[in-house]
């Protein structure tokens, strides 16, 4: 089973150029599925059936898995068997006829402009960590980049002269994102007064480093944001993606066109970006209901 799994993961990594996080999701989903097969005395996934896969998905439902998780599991299993068909190891894909559960699309959490200000004003910039954290939060909101893109940034990706940031998104697709003067100023302050003293490795290329002078991790960034989210006392959970959602929504509310926002976010399909127009329309409706005399 392990051999088939690694062959498949290698294939999707090389042929499809998927991110490390996506690869790990596929690997995790398939390992759980293979463990289920073993519990049913089926040691070879190539001998599985649509009935057995359906039993596995029913087991997932009984364990309380969310519809989105089950849907992702179906996609992982279906992709695995597609690869096996392609390799000539099986004749047909037993997962083709599986029905994907309907997923209720929830609008993402968006902060108000005042809440963003409150969050971004939490770091105290008289220390290395404070300067770095302030620069990170300002850059996240100014660019709308993902946390994985943020921690992957190198110093050479930051171009303050022209006000742009170069980042690699999903599938290693590179894009150029504009950033404002506020974020630029705080990143420069961090580079000159914080990072230069902290980065012990001369050859470290990372823009954001930890106290050991090495590249900051995704988990490290999450911890930093959670700390300031607690301090800001904003109700509800705040994640790096909350700033990304807020960035997109605030742009659209202030007149940005959808295609430009799509480019900045790095969405390959504009339908992914369109969810933010729903948030904007909802906001317009709320304003209308509160202010129109005959609403």
Q: Which of 123, 128, 127, 161 is nearest to 140 (CA)?
A: 123
* Cα–Cα distance measured from residue 282 to residue 295, given in angstroms and rounded to the nearest whole number: 15
Active site (annotated) includes residue 33 = no
Active site (annotated) includes residue 195 = no
Give the helix/strand (H/E) hosting 188: helix 181-190
Choice among 27, 170, 214, 226 that is catalytic: 170
Contacts 24+ apart (CB under 8 A), 110-113: 110/242, 110/245, 110/246, 110/249, 110/279, 111/234, 111/238, 111/242, 111/243, 111/246, 113/250
180-189 in b/e form (b: 16+ CB < 10 A) is eeebbebbee
Choice among 72, 134, 195, 244 that is catalytic: 244
Active site (annotated) includes residue 170 = yes
Active site (annotated) includes residue 212 = no
Non-local (6+) Cβ contacts of 170 within 8 A are: 18, 19, 22, 266, 268
Active site (annotated) includes residue 276 = yes
Number of residues written out for the chain: 295
Choice among 33, 56, 228, 276 that is catalytic: 276
Q: Distances from the Cα of 73 to the Cαs of 32, 70, 101, 189, in angstroms? A: 9, 5, 11, 45
Choice among 146, 215, 245, 250 that is catalytic: 146
Choice among 78, 118, 214, 267 that is catalytic: 267
Active site (annotated) includes residue 245 = no
DSSP string, 242-290: HHHHHHHHHHHHTT--HHHHHHHHT-SSHHHHTHHHHHHHHHHHHHHHH
Non-local (6+) Cβ contacts of 232 within 8 A are: 115, 118, 119, 122, 238
Give the helix/strand (H/E) hosting 189: helix 181-190
Catalytic residues, by residue number, are 146, 170, 241, 244, 267, 276
């Amino acid at each position: 089973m392990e051999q088939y799994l690694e062959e498949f993961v290698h294939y999707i990594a090389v042929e499809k150029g998927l991110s490390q996080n996506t690869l790990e999701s596929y690997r995790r989903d398939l390992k759980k599925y293979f463990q289920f097969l073993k519990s049913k005395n089926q040691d070879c996934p190539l001998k599985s059936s649509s009935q057995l896969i359906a039993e596995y998905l029913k087991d997932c439902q009984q364990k309380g898995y969310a519809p989105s998780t089950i849907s992702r599991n179906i996609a992982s299993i279906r992709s695995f068997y597609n690869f096996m068909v392609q390799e000539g190891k099986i004749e047909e894909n037993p997962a083709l006829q599986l029905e994907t559960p309907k997923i209720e699309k929830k609008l993402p959490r968006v902060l108000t402009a005042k809440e963003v200000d409150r969050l971004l004003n939490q770091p105290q910039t008289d220390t290395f960590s404070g300067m770095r954290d302030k620069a990170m939060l300002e850059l996240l909101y100014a660019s709308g980049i993902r946390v994985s893109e943020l921690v992957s940034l190198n110093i050479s990706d930051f171009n303050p002269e022209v006000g742009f940031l170069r980042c690699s998104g999903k599938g290693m697709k590179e894009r150029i994102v504009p950033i404002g003067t506020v974020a630029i100023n705080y990143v420069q302050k961090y580079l000159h007064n914080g990072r230069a003293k902290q980065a012990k490795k001369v050859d470290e290329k990372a823009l954001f480093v930890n106290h050991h002078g090495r590249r900051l991790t995704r988990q490290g960034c999450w911890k930093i944001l959670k700390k300031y989210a607690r301090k800001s006392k904003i109700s509800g959970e705040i994640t790096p993606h909350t700033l990304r959602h807020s960035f997109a929504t605030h742009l659209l509310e202030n007149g940005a066109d959808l295609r430009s926002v799509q480019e900045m976010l790095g969405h390959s399909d504009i339908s992914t970006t369109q969810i933010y127009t729903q948030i904007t329309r909802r906001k317009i409706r709320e304003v209308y209901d509160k202010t129109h005399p005959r609403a």
